[in-house]
Amino acid sequence: MSAEGSELGPGSGPGPGPEPGPLCPEHGQALSWFCRSERRPVCAACAGLGGRCRGHRIRRAEERAEELRNKIVDQCERLQLQSAAITKYVADVLPGKNQRAVSMASAARELVIQRLSLVRSLCESEEQRLLEQVHGEEERAHQSILTQRVHWAEALQKLDTIRTSLVGMLTHLDDLQLIQKEQEIFERTEEAEGILDPQESEMLNFNEKCTRSPLLTRLWATAVLGSLSGTEDIRIDERTVSPFLQLSDDRKTLTFSTKKSKTCADGPERFDHWPNALAATSFQNGLHAWMVNVQNSCAYKVGVASGHLPRKGSGSDCRLGHNAFSWVFSRYDQEFRFSHNGQHEPLGLLRGPAQLGVLLDLQARELLFYEPASGTVLYTHHGSFPGPLFPVFAVADQTISIVR
């Protein structure tokens, strides 16, 4: 039995303990000692040389009780300090936090209002500028048309005068007089031939380029693609999917395969060589938008195609961007370009977009490719689109997916 403070030394039995309280059930003696090994009060007999706690660490019960009292006092002091700290935190810190939250919320509101006010002011300024350009272009075209009206009215009057003069010579002059008027006839004819026929001129047309604005295009694209109601629920027509592509069950993901599928039933709608696919939906008018996740692929094409796009064979007439029936944004490794009718325009992009937004405004005859993450307009095509247009896709590396 080891010694600790007032603990027993080896070979000695414990002396008499404090006045009896609860008794040991085994020896009927007062529980005046504490066995630290068993963590319980024991009597002197239990703590002695022949007792059950022989060799254990033993100390007097009152010393253990005093130790516990000291611990309780220390704990109470700590609790008091903790309560004081909490009280101080509630009284001093939280009101400050609340005030700061109110202040920061107010500043955040001001920031939102300030920035939106600036955006609104910029939009109003851009609106005014563009409307002035439209008005100016309208006035220019109107003045050109008026000038043409005056010019051709004078030309008609001159032609009528020449014709009247020539008809008069024809009907009123005899042969000799007519011969004598030969020089005048030649001059009149030459004067008439100097009046050219009307020619088509762009100066007489309203130039729609006056409405083009990079700022307006970015804001418009962000507004359309940023709204769930502005995007189409595009699904791929499984009848058109190339045998080199696998279509997901939801008909939104295309996965490229180097091996041609033998389970695809051939049909007139299916592309049999190039890894292409058309959407099931076509558009003939209005504004339409959809997004495609392209971050996993380094070889793909996304855009629109006419329903007249040929499907069979390896020729350029079936290859997206190499014919008059398709308009596509394409990526091959780190090369990006817009392609239509065999014309390929390189795009100087430093990195590939993770998502590609497509906006088709058939009324404005505009096709736009957009990166939603950065708000960047990647390319805009203006031109006529014959017939109904289908969203079109091609992938020759990994997968691309239509974003729901």
What is the 3-class SS of 227-274, one letter each residue? CHHHCCCCCECCCCCCCCEEECCCCCEEEECCCCCCCCCCCCCCCCCC
Instruction: List the pLDDT tens digit at each of the 404 positions of the chain.
Output: 443 444 444 344 444 544 556 888 888 888 888 898 888 898 888 887 778 887 888 888 888 888 889 999 999 999 999 999 999 999 999 999 999 999 999 999 998 999 889 888 988 998 999 999 999 999 999 999 999 999 999 999 999 998 998 898 888 888 888 888 889 889 888 888 888 888 888 888 988 888 888 888 888 888 877 665 556 789 999 999 999 999 999 999 999 998 888 777 788 889 988 999 999 999 998 889 999 999 999 999 999 999 889 989 888 889 999 999 999 999 999 999 999 999 999 998 888 899 999 999 998 899 999 998 888 899 999 988 887 999 999 999 999 999 87
Domain boundaries, the chain: 127-204, 214-402
Please tell me the CATH code under which domain 214-402 is placed: 2.60.120.920
Residue written as token pair 């009215």: 153
Q: Is 253 left (phi over 0), alpha (psi -120 to 50) or beta?
A: beta
Both structure tokens of 204? 């007489």
Residue 30, phi then psi, degrees to nearest 5:
-65, 145
User: Nearest to residue 255, comparing CAs of 290, 300, 314, 291?
Assistant: 300
Which among 276, 396, 319, 301 has a CA at the least distance from the CA of 356?
Answer: 301
Long-range CB contacts for residues 63-71, cutoff 8 Å, separation at least 24: 63/5, 63/6, 63/34, 64/34, 64/36
Local structure of residue 281 (DSSP, 8 states): -
Which residues, including other chains, have CB under 8 Å from residue 9's CB and lie 6 or more apart?
A: 1, 3
Name the DSSP class of 284.
Answer: S
